[in-house]
Chain A
Amino acid sequence: MEITSSNVRQWSRLGTRGLFGQAVLAIAPDHPDLIVMSADLGGSSGLERFRASFPDQFLNTGIAEQNMIGVAAGVAKEGYNVFVTSFSPFLSLRASEQIRMNLGYMEMNVKAIALGSGVSMGLLGNSHYGLEDVAVMRAIPNLTVVSPADCAEIVQAVKAAAAFEGPMYIRLTSEGINPPVYTEDYDFQIGKAVKVRDGGDLAIVACGSMVHHSLKAAELLAEQGIEAQVINMHTLKPLDEECLSDVLDTVSTLVTVEEHSIIGGLGSAVAEFLAPRRDQTRLLIIGLPDKFVKAGRYGYVLEQEGLVGTAISDKILGFLQS
């Protein structure tokens, strides 16, 4: 799956989950040891074609996420490359202790892919939202946590995950309604943040769907004469501290933006990085509030919670003036 502007346009139409399924299908021939698992959400995870094309490499465990993680660990222990999939809270919260024991403590080579994280489940409501997943997954030792920015980066992340030895949690946000951040091939490495816009006044550090919205915000700020650089922190753990250090050589105001609770996510990770430093960096954390939000269509929830370009730029302006 080559990253070209026409492919990217096509992928955006598939939606996040459809694209994820396509990406897994595309890597399968290069990974004969790949086993993809689902807890009865194969169709909803875009895996129909994979299941039809590689029936021997697809395992449905039934609606039992805790067991699925343990089974995945056993399969991985015998040398398979295992992807487990479900919706964010069912993996990261319902099965969090299984992830802790099997992926964290025993470091089994399992990639847990959380479909529809953040608020992208829209009208399905808070039961299906991934509000706290990064907070929990990030705190588990040995786990790598990744949050791709757009369609192209989902393709990159799936490829990189299949080649990566070790446990990983990947959260997919957005339902593909965002215009792409990337329209041509670029260097994607787990743990290496990417600067997607330059600017000398402040830096916005974003992940997942919020990279796009942060770019929008940066455009609006530029209209006010404020130049914001935008960093795509696609790997939340390990955090790319080298990149952040470089950023702080040029600016002293950081803003984090994430489709996740303001508790425990990207903002917290950046705050943990900043706390022991002896500089005067100011940090604004933008994310979902510490509450169960009123549900609606994806775009509606983002608007309501101020996670769109205009609201983000307004918050940043207010912060700069405060």
Chain B
Amino acid sequence: MFNLRNKINTQNNTRNSSKNNKEELLQASLEKNIKILKEIFINDDTIIYRRFQNQCNNAIRCCIIFVDGMVNNEIVNKNIIQPIVINALLAGGKDIISNLQYGIVAVNNVEKTADVYKVVESIINGDTALYVDGEKEALIISTKGWQNRQITEPETERVLRGPREGFTESLMINLTMIRRKLKTPDLKFRFKTFGVRSRTKACICYIDGIANEEILKEFNKRLDDIEIDGVLDTGYIQEFIADAPLSMFKTIGSTERPDIVAAKLLEGRIALVLDGTPSALTIPFLFMEFLQSNEDYYVNYYTASIGRFLRNISLLLTISIPAIYLALVTFHQEMIPTNLLMSISAARHGMPFPTVIEALAMLIVFEILREAGARMPTFIGQSLSIVGALVIGQAAVQARFISAPMIIVIGFSGITSLVIAKLKGAVFLLRLIFLFLASIFGLYGYIFGIIGLLIHLFEIRSFGVPYMSNLTSLNPQDLKDTAIRAPWWYMEYRPKFIAAKNIIRKKPGT
């Protein structure tokens, strides 16, 4: 049994590798051709071989091969089998394949090929192959028709105002969603295939004339260098082509919303949509994008700017609060107002653990609760929040395990981290690092941590664009979309590092 498997595997491997070297051509005999396919698809029972012949001309023997469930049965029955079977005038002969392609098969996309592997790939992709006895060519008929998920609003990127549609797992549907938003011939879609085994289709989208060609070239180059057997999500690709692979900050954006992709394309960014996953990649990705939300651009700019401000503050607070609290309570008691010092001191009175241990334990407990919330089925969520609130909130304080101020600090730090959910991994790590530094050096250590973080952030680039670009500028046009969201009529230029050539979004002063 094992030997057999190995044999098949090696066979497949040799076939895969041979594919690149030489083509295997179709034979003139229908039976031989079917046999070749059956060898390739050995042990695969989902492949259907349907033989039929013209009712008037028995000499025209055909076979269609497709994967059960991946084709639209109606097309196969009505537009392929039926016309060929009942056509009384169908004559055999030399150009029967062309006749079928142009005159009989009523499907929108039909291709001729003589390459067995082209046939195999098409079948796997949901197309139907039509073999005719005596012909060295086959027709590949587009019959893709599998079940798709409904277009729904992405759970992770909900908005109160704005489009409600999100990407699905189907590449073509996703592309049409982008196309529908940007009806210009300048919008380009370039297909690529990833994964030696998964053969996953992907599409690079950009707007010609806005997107920076250098970045596009670099992007293509990095994509071509990817060597992997299967790609199930854009996350795989993201890690292969990231600029700072060891950094905890990602340099490639991902979204499930077509409106975000369209907006980024208009800014001159490039998107990659992958078949089989609703999350699309956008490059280049700047740090500011962590703090931006698509809703910012749909609501009033005051509301949006307040949102931005809160997110900025939340980012600072969530990584700093535990560290600052620890530093103040254990190193710099003189910086706490007297009355607050007395309350904290009273709360800490008789606590068994040092403040550092308290903070560490609570941080980890919070992360565990959050992780549990994300992993478990939604209907248990209710009981989890009760257990979480009761166990860590009330009971721990009442049993005098953990001091109450620490619960407040960690709770606040946790809530603020939910405001910037896109950064959650990095935020948790930073919180721990700062806490550690503060526990050894006090505020001094915390400040050094912040300095180190800034140095790191300023050193990263995303496809040649500085990660923190525009944040240090004093030019209002550079700052229009950073800490605040300027009104749309003020957004006259595209981000200058990204859309290098065509940066005028609208005529200034109109």
- Do A and B interact with each other, yes or no? no
Interfacial residues, chain A to chain B (CB-CB below 8 A): none
Interfacial residues, chain B to chain A (CB-CB below 8 A): none
